[in-house]
Structure formats: structure tokens, C-alpha cells
């Protein structure tokens, strides 16, 4: 490659790399944002404290991070309280701390002197051309980070509960509602409070109504209890409040509030942006199952059992369902329908907590459906006029099976035999049910016979030794017990034709290679014909007596090549479909003739001589060329 070509190639390569870096930089900038991200805060002297309540004059150091690659010109915190302002230009500026990978970090401090709200703000170029930190919006508290001075007071925080056990979540408790002692005591703590402050506990059977109450929307589904003052930890200005109530529902939700707001959370050292609601459950649970545990058929009155644990007397249960025509056709033939259940029985069971669960069982029936239909269903519950589904996901599925059993009889139809003793076997494939009766007629004039044998499902019959066609039929009845109904008998029958043949087929050898003299070339052939008057030909074989067996069914001609001398007894065998056979034999005498070669000279020797002459000529020419040089 000359220098000019190398220079051109290098130039093209540099342009390509440059374009690649340019595209990368553009993509990076397109994904950037000026929004600051809150990394956390530290309260001086309370580094290990996980909360947002601190004494007056505590130094608070906050940290934010921004995108390192887009050139942020500044980061401030805006807000109210503790000398913060809502105007970026006059707010507390944060100082650059360090950079790590694609983020740059800024920190700054202020003295906490009152209830304080704040958020971050960063910009590029003009300070007014910036972006505020994005926070989750909770209408009661508004989207800010909150810090409280304990001397002023804070919203209440949940502290403890008695006569209830944690149930796998810090916000869910278990307590039996049907025991003698159902008294629940809840405690909350508030910072900076005193005995003249009011903390209110909100109770409801619905979570949403408590959320509405925290936003100022009240209805009769929320009960408010004024909590009792109790001494607390004066070091941190903690005051404890308590309230007791009787737990008689299957579920109960609660939260607390005071003049500073509702109990809320946002994680360790994070803003309180979400209302905290706790739940007490008595282990309530319900499920629906088909009353018929076997496969359901078109004969069944489809019924369900709904089992509930610790439900109340005011609740209503039932089934929601719809029906599609079949797997092949998903046309909805019954739209979504609800049907109420009826209470069947009530009893108690001891649970894992050592308490008694109240179990109620309900029954509901929707009638019968056609074979092949698809039934989609789930249980539902009406509780204080609210509708709850059982599964909360995909509905359960039932396929409607055909009630008519599938019946098989062996020997199968169109069976041929030359044995008068026939053993019949039958198979019954029923969705469910019990064999009630089995009878057969054998087609030979014998009266109908009871062949009921549910253990072996077989019977023997001896036919007369008369060639002919016999139609055997099996009749069965299956006893099926339908759900909530009387048993019924389902009848089914199946037939099989038996062909009995006691006559041999015919076979004639028309011609073949003459066997009155020796066959010198080993080639023989034969022509033949065959027939069967009743059952028909099953197979035709030729045994050539040298280990070769040839299938010549449907043929009337065959040939063979022998490779050794000898006398061969060839057999042609014809068998009809019933197994009757006839044979014919042919004798072939084979004496192979071997010819002796008469060649006067060996071709191999001539080939060697010719090869040596060619090699010598080639070497001679090569030497002459070398001598000339």
C-alpha cells in the first residue's frame, strides 16, 4: 500500500472516530437534567437518630447531588422557617463538596429554629432559569422536606399496640375479634406536646375513609377517639398518648393526628409525604370451591361452597361468573353475572395463634351448562356496601365435560379370526360415575348376556364353527350422582363386527423356470395366482430356501438369483385375514458354470512398461534444459 493510500485511510478513520464521540456527547446531554437530588441530612449531635424532630438551634447539614456533565452553576435550598426563603437568589447557597462518577455533590448548613420546610433548586446560566427538586405530593403536608423543633410540637408517631400480634408487616396486626377480651390499646408519641394538647385516634373499617379524613373530607364511617395523656421521655420532649377500644369487626384501620398534622412517613431522614395507616385483622379470609370435586359435566347443577374465616353477620357472599362457548370459540354466551350465596353452617376451629376462628360456609348454585363450555368464576364479598373479589386477579376456570362415557370394545371392529373362542374386553372412559350394568349380544343368536365384571372388564364367548359375519354389541349403564340431585343412569353402547373364517385360501402356480434340468446361471422365476372366498387375502410369502424370504402380497410374479450350487425347495405361502394358510412347493436344481479367462498378455504388465517409458522421457527433457543453462 503506498503512502497516499495510507494517508487517506487514516483520515477516514479519524473522521469516523470524531463523529462517534460527537454522537456520544449529544446522547449524554440529551439524557441530562438540572434537577437536584436530595441525598440526606445530618443533625449535629444526633447523627444516629432516625427522625425529623430535633431541639431548637440544632445545626442541620443537607446534601444534594446534580448531574456532573451538564455544567450546573449553583445549588441552593429554598423554603420557610430557620431563615430560609422561597426566593432562590436570597436562599442558602450550597458549596461544592466532591464528584463521583457522573454526579457532583453540594452541601450546606443552617440552624433549626422553628418548623422548617425546604427543597433543592439548581440552575445553569441565569439563576431564574433553574429546576426545583421533585417531591411526592401528599396534599395534607404539601411537597416539602419537613423538620420539626421538639419544643414546638410535631405530628404524633405510632408507638405500640397491646392485645394484637404482628402479622408479617409492621403496619398489620392480628387480633381475634370473637374472644372474650377484645380490648385493643394503641399508643402514640408526640414531640414537644403537653397535657393540654389533643391527639385524636381515627378508626374505620375502610382505609380510604381515613385518607379522606386526613384531607378534610369526613363521613360517618370514621370514628374519632380523643387519646389519653401519658407522661413520656422529657429528654427529647416526648409525650405519650393512649386510647383503648373494643375490636369486634373483621378488619379495622387506624391513624392519629394533632394540630401539627397526621402520622406520616418518608423513610429514614426523609420528608414525611405519606400518611401511615395501620390495620388490625382477625384473620379474615374466604375462598370458593366447586361443590363437585370431580370433573363437572353437562348433567350437573353447578354449585359452589364459599368458606369464610372470621367474617361478620352483616356480610354477604356469592359468586361472580361468565361463560364462553368453548375453547375453539370464545364467544361470551353468559355475561358477567353475580348470584348470592346462602349460609349453610357455622363452626369454630383453633388457629395457629391459639384462638378460635369462626368458620362460615355458604352455598350457591348457578344451574347446568352445555358440554364444552368454559365457566370463569370467583367468589365475592359485600362488606359495608363495598365489593371485594376473592382472587384479585384472573378468575378461576371450569371446563364442562361430556357426561356420555366413551366406550371401547376389543377385538376392534372388522376383526377376522379362525378361532371360535373369542375374548371380549371393554374400556369405559367416563368423567365420573360407577359402572352399573354391562350386557352383550354376540350376533350368533345367543340371548343377551350379563357380562358385568368391573374388576376385569372382560368376557369369553364360543361361536359356532360356521364361516360368517357376527355383530357383537356391548350395552352399559353408568350411575352418575349429580350435585344436590338424585342419581341418574347414563346408557351407552358400542358394536364390533367379528368375521369368522374356517376355509383355506386357494393357490395355483401357473408357471416357473423348468426344473427338469440344471439351472446354470442361478436365475429362476415363477408365476402364480391366489384367492380367498370370504375374508380376503392377508399376506403372500415366498421362502427361497437360501435364507431369503420375500413378501409378494398383491403380486403374481417373482424372480430370484441363486449364488451357490444346490437343490432348493421353494415354498409359496398364502394366508387369509383370518389366519388360514395354504402352501405350494417348487424344486430348483442349481449348477453354476464358471468361465476361464483367455487373455494372451497381462494388462498389468503392459501398464508398468508404459509407465516406465513415460517417466524416462520426462527426466531426459529436464536434464537437457539444465545443460543449456
CATH number at residue 510: 2.60.40.10
For the stretch 84-99, pLDDT in tens is: 999 999 999 999 999 9
pLDDT band at 268 (very low <50, low <70, confident <90, very high): very low
Cell of 341: 350465596
The reply to whether the predicted model has a pTM over 0.75 is no
pLDDT at 134: 85
pLDDT at 442: 96
Nearest to 286 by CA among 261, 268, 299, 305: 305
Same domain for 327 and 297: yes
Domain endpoint, select from 281, 300, 332: 281
For residues 495 and 248, the model is more confident at 495
Residue 420 has φ and ψ, to the nearest 5°, of -75, -20
Beta bridge partners of 367: 302
In the sheet where 406-410 sits, what is the strand order? 406-410, 421-429, 458-462
Q: Is residue 606 part of a domain?
A: no
Cell of 541: 410369502
pLDDT of 155 higher than 50:
yes
Query: What is the domain range of residue 175?
Result: 157-281
Average pLDDT value for residue range 222-245: 83
Average pLDDT value for residue range 404-433: 91
Chain centre distance of CA 493:
41
For the stretch 168-210, pLDDT in tens is: 788 999 988 766 668 999 999 988 777 778 899 999 998 889 9
pLDDT of 482 higher than 70:
no
pLDDT of 238 higher than 70:
yes
Residues ≥6 apart with Cβ < 8 Å to 42: 60, 61
Domain endpoint, select from 248, 281, 314: 281
Same domain for 269 and 306: no
pLDDT of 47 higher than 90:
no
pLDDT at 136: 60
Domain endpoint, select from 345, 372, 399: 399
Q: Is residue 91 part of a domain?
A: yes
Q: Is residue 23 part of a domain?
A: no
Average pLDDT value for residue range 541-556: 96
Average pLDDT value for residue range 31-43: 83
Q: Find the CATH number of the domain harbouring 134.
A: 2.60.40.2440
The alpha-helical segments, DSSP class H, found in 279-363 are none
pLDDT at 2: 47
Mean of per-residue pLDDT scores for the chain: 84
pLDDT at 139: 39
For the stretch 101-123, pLDDT in tens is: 899 999 999 999 988 889 999 99
pLDDT at 30: 32
Total structural domains in the chain? 5
Average pLDDT value for residue range 259-281: 75
pLDDT band at 11 (very low <50, low <70, confident <90, very high): very low
Cell of 200: 385524636
pLDDT at 386: 84
For residues 204 and 214, the model is more confident at 204
For residues 561 and 295, the model is more confident at 561
pLDDT of 594 higher than 90:
no
Taking residue 356's Cβ as centre, other Cβ atoms within 10 Å add up to 15
Residues ≥6 apart with Cβ < 8 Å to 399: 295, 296, 327, 372, 373, 374, 375
Taking residue 455's Cβ as centre, other Cβ atoms within 10 Å add up to 5
pLDDT band at 273 (very low <50, low <70, confident <90, very high): low
Amino acid at each position: 500500500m503506498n503512502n497516499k493510500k495510507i494517508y487517506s485511510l487514516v483520515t477516514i478513520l479519524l473522521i469516523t472516530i470524531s463523529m462517534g464521540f460527537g454522537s456520544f456527547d449529544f446522547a449524554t446531554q440529551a439524557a441530562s437534567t438540572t434537577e437536584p437530588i436530595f441525598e440526606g441530612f445530618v443533625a449535629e449531635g444526633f447523627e444516629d437518630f432516625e427522625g425529623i424532630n430535633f431541639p431548637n438551634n440544632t445545626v442541620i447539614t443537607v446534601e444534594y447531588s446534580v448531574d456532573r456533565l451538564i455544567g450546573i452553576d449553583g445549588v441552593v435550598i429554598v423554603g420557610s422557617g430557620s431563615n430560609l426563603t422561597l426566593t432562590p437568589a436570597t436562599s442558602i447557597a450550597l458549596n461544592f463538596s466532591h464528584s463521583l462518577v457522573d454526579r457532583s455533590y453540594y452541601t450546606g448548613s443552617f440552624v433549626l429554629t422553628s418548623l422548617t420546610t425546604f427543597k433543592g433548586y439548581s440552575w445553569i446560566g441565569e439563576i431564574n432559569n433553574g429546576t426545583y427538586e421533585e417531591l411526592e405530593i401528599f396534599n395534607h403536608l404539601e411537597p416539602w422536606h419537613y423538620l420539626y423543633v421538639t419544643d414546638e410540637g410535631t405530628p404524633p408517631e405510632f408507638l405500640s399496640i397491646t392485645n394484637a400480634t404482628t402479622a408479617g408487616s409492621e403496619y398489620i396486626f392480628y387480633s381475634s375479634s370473637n374472644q372474650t377480651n377484645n380490648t385493643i390499646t394503641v399508643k402514640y408519641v408526640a414531640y414537644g406536646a403537653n397535657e393540654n394538647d389533643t391527639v385524636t385516634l381515627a378508626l374505620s373499617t375502610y382505609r380510604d375513609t381515613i385518607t379522606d379524613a386526613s384531607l378534610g373530607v369526613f363521613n360517618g364511617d370514621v370514628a374519632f377517639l380523643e387519646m389519653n395523656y401519658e407522661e413520656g421521655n422529657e429528654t427529647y420532649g416526648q409525650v405519650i398518648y393512649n386510647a383503648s377500644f373494643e375490636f369486634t369487626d373483621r378488619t379495622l384501620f387506624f391513624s392519629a393526628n394533632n394540630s401539627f398534622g397526621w402520622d406520616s412517613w418518608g423513610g429514614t431522614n426523609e420528608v414525611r409525604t405519606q400518611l401511615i395507616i395501620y390495620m388490625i385483622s382477625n384473620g379474615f379470609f374466604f375462598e370458593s370451591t366447586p361443590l363437585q370435586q370431580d370433573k363437572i359435566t353437562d348433567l350437573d347443577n353447578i354449585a359452589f361452597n364459599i368458606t369464610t374465616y372470621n367474617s361478620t353477620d352483616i356480610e354477604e357472599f356469592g359468586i361472580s361468573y361468565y361463560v364462553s362457548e368453548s375453547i375453539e370459540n370464545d364467544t361470551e354466551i353468559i355475561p358477567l353475572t353475580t348470584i348470592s350465596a346462602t349460609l349453610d353452617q357455622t363452626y369454630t376451629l383453633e388457629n395457629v395463634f391459639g384462638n378460635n376462628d369462626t368458620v362460615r360456609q355458604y352455598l350457591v348454585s348457578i344451574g347446568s351448562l352445555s358440554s364444552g363450555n368454559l365457566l370463569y368464576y370467583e367468589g365475592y364479598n359485600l362488606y359495608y356496601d363495598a365489593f371485594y373479589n376473592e382472587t384479585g386477579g384472573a378468575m378461576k376456570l371450569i371446563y364442562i365435560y361430556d357426561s356420555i362415557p366413551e366406550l371401547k370394545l376389543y377385538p376392534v371392529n372388522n376383526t377376522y379370526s379362525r378361532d371360535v373362542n373369542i375374548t371380549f374386553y371393554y374400556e369405559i372412559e367416563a368423567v365420573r360415575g360407577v359402572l352399573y350394568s354391562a350386557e352383550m349380544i354376540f350376533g350368533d343368536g345367543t340371548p343377551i348376556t350379563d357380562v358385568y365384571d368391573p374388576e376385569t372388564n372382560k368376557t369369553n364367548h364360543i361361536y359356532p364353527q360356521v364361516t360368517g359375519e357376527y355383530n357383537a354389541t356391548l350395552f352399559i349403564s353408568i350411575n352418575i350422582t349429580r350435585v344436590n340431585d338424585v342419581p341418574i343412569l347414563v346408557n351407552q353402547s358400542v358394536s364390533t363386527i367379528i368375521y369368522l373364517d374356517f376355509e383355506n385360501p386357494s393357490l395355483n402356480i401357473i408357471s416357473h423356470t423348468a426344473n427338469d434340468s440344471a439351472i446354470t446361471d442361478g436365475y429362476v422365476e415363477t408365476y402364480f395366482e391366489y384367492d380367498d372366498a370370504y375374508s380376503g387375502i392377508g399376506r403372500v410369502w415366498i421362502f427361497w430356501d437360501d435364507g431369503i424370504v420375500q413378501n409378494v402380497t398383491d403380486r403374481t410374479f417373482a424372480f430370484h438369483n441363486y449364488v451357490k450350487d444346490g437343490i432348493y425347495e421353494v415354498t409359496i405361502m398364502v394366508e387369509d385375514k383370518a389366519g388360514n394358510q395354504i402352501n405350494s412347493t417348487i424344486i430348483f436344481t442349481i449348477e453354476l458354470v464358471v468361465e476361464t479367462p483367455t487373455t494372451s498378455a497381462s494388462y498389468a504388465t503392459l501398464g508398468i512398461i508404459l509407465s516406465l517409458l513415460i517417466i524416462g522421457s520426462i527426466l531426459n527433457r529436464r536434464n537437457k534444459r539444465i545443460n543449456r543453462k
